[in-house]
Structure 1
């Protein structure tokens, strides 16, 4: 009596980038894959069996911490949310660090750029005439902001945005889609009192955060693991409001009158 061959496991071919800030390259590995596994499982197996010094950042393995961001076959992905079953068994998978950020070692990159940009976005300004517990918003406004709050800070959108991915010199002037989305969220918040303090979020988005660099290719939306419609629901509306503020003569006149009467 013969037994059927096991079709739930197989050997996969990987190319994994190894190196540090001084340079490196791809190394070839053949590693076992079992049914239901994700790429992070395979990276862990590589660490356990062949490359114990392989560096990779991860935490929750549930697609909620954003730590295990890397590139698989050139596409920014979360290692823990990319199932091996989406690839052909005879396909060679190339795993590399995020291209837009400096390499620390192997698959770990220095994403400090993103935290610098986060600090440059002024925080929510509470209305002066309302105290804690007195805030009231329409459910529609809550839902609009809640979509953006789903961000897990994986920075895949930052990595795939060609403005910073292909042009290192733009990083000083461009915040990237994740933080322009934050500006958009605050600008559309019905209780944000930034303008009462003299802060024009639409103007700062254009002049300080580089909104004009974005040409709405939607690559940021395509890689978002939380399926946030970054381009359609945040960046395009913010661009429209910024353009109205700067170029619409009626809006310009209304702002002039409002300033004069106040």
Structure 2
């Protein structure tokens, strides 16, 4: 049986905007994206929202619901109190285009900077062999749907615009970690790249990215912390440091 729900939806564009109030019908089993679509159909035909699959697999409908980054299509209306006002706003870390749609091109620029997978030169496609444990370890990170909720909630990106040139964000740190863990990736500079070009040192592992991941990827524990440890081992291990000094002296 249907009921009415009170929504506050951010309306505006890059020049500014504000929250507008709506009362919208809600039916059993619906998600927030259903209500946004009903709002478009009945009261706000020009409301801009990005979506595609409505199945939690495309990552398109990212927004903030009552201040928490979520997928609109995976947030059930049943989790809210019937008398609760539900506030829907665009992701705060990225520039607003219009209404709930943000410009996430920052993320695609960061993706293009990552060196691609480099298979061993002596193996042809079809000859790759991996242990199952290595498959499972990297497979977790491949579940990422690039909703960019982790990027949005990361305070290094969200609260400090000046960090964006130097910091890739959690989504791309797990990509670097995945490739560094991959037994068939022939590159040896992933750790240096994470330190010098992705700004892994700026991450202070608050785990907020893990908390909002709709695919339940353990971004911090399984990717960023191990990558940080490998970067530190490479850079600050006294034996490595001594070996580098001796090697340079011998070479000189």
Q: TM-score, normalised by structure 2?
A: 0.96
Q: Which runs of 5+ in 2 are unaligned?
A: none
Q: Which residue of 2 aligns with 1:248?
A: 237
Q: TM-score, normalised by structure 1?
A: 0.93
* Structure 2 residue 239 is matched with structure 1 residue 239: no
Q: Which residue of 1 aligns with 2:65?
A: 72
Which whole-Å CA distance do the structure 1 matches of 2:202 and 2:5 have between them? 40
* Structure 2 residue 206 is matched with structure 1 residue 213: no
Alignment of 1:46-195 (within 5 A): 46-195=39-188
- Deviation beyond 4 Å, 4+ runs, structure 1: 253-261
Q: Which residue of 1 aligns with 2:213?
A: 224
Change (3 A) 1:126 1:211: same
List per-residue Cα deviations over 1:14-72 (Å, max 9, x = no partner): 00000001110000000010000000000000000000000000000000000000000
Tell me the SS of whatever aligns to 1:12.
strand
Q: Which residue of 1 aligns with 2:7?
A: 14
Which whole-Å CA distance do the structure 1 matches of 2:245 and 2:239 have between them? 10
Tell me the SS of whatever aligns to 1:178.
helix
Tell me the SS of whatever aligns to 1:221.
helix
How far is the alpha carbon of 1:204 from its aligned partner?
Answer: 1.2
How far is the alpha carbon of 1:9 from its aligned partner?
Answer: 1.8
Q: Which residue of 2 aligns with 1:45?
A: 38
Tell me the SS of whatever aligns to 1:182.
helix
How far is the alpha carbon of 1:207 from its aligned partner?
Answer: 1.2
How far is the alpha carbon of 1:189 from its aligned partner?
Answer: 0.6
Q: Which runs of 5+ in 1 are unaligned?
A: 1-7
Q: Which residue of 2 aligns with 1:3?
A: none
Change (3 A) 1:190 1:25: same
Which whole-Å CA distance do the structure 1 matches of 2:113 and 2:246 have between them? 30
- Aligned CA-pair RMSD: 1.5
Tell me the SS of whatever aligns to 1:246.
helix
How far is the alpha carbon of 1:258 from its aligned partner?
Answer: 8.5
Which whole-Å CA distance do the structure 2 matches of 1:164 and 1:78 have between them? 19
Which whole-Å CA distance do the structure 2 matches of 1:21 and 1:97 have between them? 12
Tell me the SS of whatever aligns to 1:44.
helix
Tell me the SS of whatever aligns to 1:18.
strand
How far is the alpha carbon of 1:252 from its aligned partner?
Answer: 3.5
Equivalenced residue count is: 250
How far is the alpha carbon of 1:250 from its aligned partner?
Answer: 1.9
Q: Which residue of 2 aligns with 1:32?
A: 25
